[in-house]
Amino acid sequence: MIKRKYVRTRSLQNGMKIDQAIIDRMGRTLIARGAILDDYMIEALMNRGVSGVYTVEGKEDGTTEKENISEKMIEKIEELKVEDRANVKLTESVKKRVATGIAYLYNNTESDDFIDATNNIANDLMKAITDNESIAVDISALKVSDEYTFKHSVDVATMAMIIGKQHGLTEKEVYEIGIAGLLHDIGKTKIPNEILNKAGKLTDEEFLLMKQHALFGYSILKDKKELSDPVLMGVLQHHEKLNGKGYPLGVPEEKIYEYAKIISTADIYDALVTERPYKKAFSPRAAVEMIMAMTDELDINVMRSFLDSIILYPVGSTVQLSNGENAKVIENNPKYVLRPKVFGLKTGKVYDLGNDLKCANIIIK
């Protein structure tokens, strides 16, 4: 059985396995998640002011049984399935370039090549969208880096571009919102490592400082003449809310730029479904439901574009239904992203979760 627990740094011992990545303010991984700690690493944690980390011990039970799918069922699934809408696909070579590029940006905010490097990444993402005529994004397929800050920046940029496309933005605006998405967290390079890496709850003072990262990002970028005002405001306002209770400035709805409204939705979704040292990841279903409940904070039209843009359960993936049966997804319905059509692997029944009233009480767990 896997056991995860929080251990104060002074209580760490040789041989413990760390269950979080330790990164510096430039986004560089100092200790990778899963590393076996030694005296040198423990001393480094203490010297950097990291008060504690999560560790993990034990092994998977290995008791999960796989479904046995007959050839006849496989044939039936192939006959029934309807391929997903065209979604963003990043080749391994593009992922490598993007990962290298985003790391460069966070490590070289004052470089003369900063804008060129940003444009190179945005060009790669734009090409991936236009080449495939993509109108949707499968967030589980985007991973470009094991490091959270870099992965999150690319995920948010890609989602924002697709949401923007669904929302009716021009090609130029889709490109620009990609730039804003890539740079939305650049201000975190100004946040101390001990706060970025803190496994527990932030103090009020620490949280106040963390809430300034959007302002720090704006300060880093405001003198870069190549960046338009909507891009700069997308970075500055990506944590602002329609009810005026966002940060860092608490501006009302009418003063929030469109790019910021789109990036905010993508940012929240990706943060919810990603595991962090201080929280477990929410399921895609739970994350979407939480976003759908944020009608006083997020723009309702952007929310609709978001729901039209994401593929939660790709065709061919296996899901568990609330009736206890495992099933294969055979068709998605953009109008009901939480309720695709699935094929039961035990009964051989087709459950149309979005349209069949007989399936109203069945959900994907």
Query: Over 50: is that where the pLDDT of 106 sits?
Result: yes
List of residues 6+ apart from 345 with CB closer than 8 A: 67, 69, 73, 318, 325, 326, 327, 328
DSSP assignment of 326-363 equals: EEEEEE--TT-TT--EEEETTT--EEETTT-GGGTT--
204-229: pLDDT as tens digits: 999 999 999 999 999 999 999 999 99
Backbone φ and ψ of 48, nearest 5°:
-90, 0
**Strand-pair partners of 310:** 137
pTM for this prediction: 0.79
**Better pLDDT: 73 or 61:** 73
Q: pLDDT band at residue 67, thresholds of 50, 70 and 90?
A: low
Query: What's the rounded Cα separation, in Å, for the pair 131 and 95?
Result: 16
66 pLDDT band, cuts 50/70/90, is very low
Q: Is the pLDDT of residue 30 over 80?
A: no
Pairwise CA distance, residues 236 & 125, whole Å: 22
* Both structure tokens of 180: 């804003």
318-339 residue pLDDT tens: 999 999 999 999 999 888 899 9
Q: Are 231 and 164 in contact (CB under 8 A)?
A: no
How many CB atoms within 10 Å of residue 33?
A: 18
* Placement of tokens 């998605």 in the chain: 332
Query: Of 337, 335, 310, 313, which Cα lies nearest the Cα of 326?
Result: 313
% of the chain at pLDDT higher than 90 = 55
